[in-house]
Amino acid sequence: MREKKKVLVAMSGGVDSSVAAALLVKAGHQVVGAFMVNYDEKGETPGCWRGDYQDALRVAAKLGIKLLRLDFTKEYRQQVLTYMYREYAAGRTPNPDVLCNKFIKFGAWLKKAKALGFDKLATGHYAVIKTLKHKNIKTVRLFEARDENKDQTYFLHQLTQAQLKQVLFPIGGYTKPQVRVLAKKLGLPTAGKEESMGICFIGEVPMKKFLSKKIKAKKGKIILSSGRVVGAHSGLAFYTIGERVGIKFPISNFQFPMFRPLYVVAKNTQKNALIVGHENDPLLFAREILVKNINWVAGQAPKFPLKCEVRLRHRQPLQKARIIKTLKHKNIKTIRVFFDKPQRAVTPGQFAVLYLNGECLGGGEIA
């Protein structure tokens, strides 16, 4: 991008956003950093974000740019946490990071950046934006990053044309090792900092512990897919499809005890029952799925039927599939996805994301 812009860079205190800021400064843009406080719940470690904020301050000082500190805890609580608790309580397994990108990072953050007079909002996401022209109409498209292992388009598939036109992903054309090398060459304080994992902005907190603060445990039966009761669960919200449960079931017809592990294959929310089976249980696999609330990144749906590739979870290898024409199910627009191979542990509430020739077409929630 040759034209010099006024850019607000979201700086998390990590190496990726640090290098993103550095690249924009090097390119001659008017850069200001912003550290976003999104989660700071009472009763927990106060100001758990402060260490990252100090790192962001050090990087900003090294680059000679100003760093703002902005508070979005209210927006995050209303638009991400409320949704997350509701979905888990209903027995589904949501992906808060997808909604965080849609409503917070490229919703509330972007709105604030524009209000402050910035032309663009930049982040340290691993993704590539390209502007394509067809029949004199320009559209902004989302493509996979150069580093396949770090690619984050799965989490960005809900973004719209209006959002993508106003954002920059400076490190999308680099691999993670290259980003580390750049950080060291530039003398950035975060060059050797380890990556943080876990829920967006919340960190490495055990999910059951996090959910138990808001969702009341409701015990129920654990039932084999064949119908036999084999135990009791502590609440459907605390389990996800494909998860291994702490029960071993004996294999019959052997003179000495042998056991096979059991996995969650389904949830019966009406009966509050957790259905389990062995690793090859038919209920654990699906050849077709229904996907609702589709967002097409280009602003309109492609032609159907469509042969493409689909990803059901972050970093899952792309799966070949055929998509049939949009239809309505319970007054909600949906698509039906037929996979070439059976898919293990398809999880309602998670997202199915579609790809074609490296482009992220969009996706929606697994019904």
Nearest CA-CA partner of 261 in 274, 242, 236, 235: 242
ω into residue 305 within 30 of 0, thus cis? yes
The single residue of 48, 100, 308, 360 carrying the catalytic annotation is: 100
Are 203 and 160 contacting, i.e. CB atoms less than 8 angstroms apart?
no
CB burial string 238-268: b at 16+ within 10 A, e below? bbbbbbebeeebeeeeeeeeeeeebbbbbbe
CB 290 within 8 A of CB 274: no
| Those residues with Cβ within 8 angstroms of residue 75's Cβ, 6 or more apart along the chain or in another chain | 38, 103, 104, 107, 108
The DSSP-derived string for 120-185 is: EEE---S-EEEEEEETTEEEEEEE--S-TTT--HHHHTT--HHHHTTEE-TTTTS-HHHHHHHHHH
Contact 61, 28 (CB under 8 A): no
Q: Does residue 48 have an active-site annotation?
A: no
Which of 346, 226, 340 is closest to 286 using CA atoms? 346
Active site residue 100: yes
Pairwise CA distance, residues 329 & 335, whole Å: 9
Q: Which residues are catalytic?
A: 100, 200
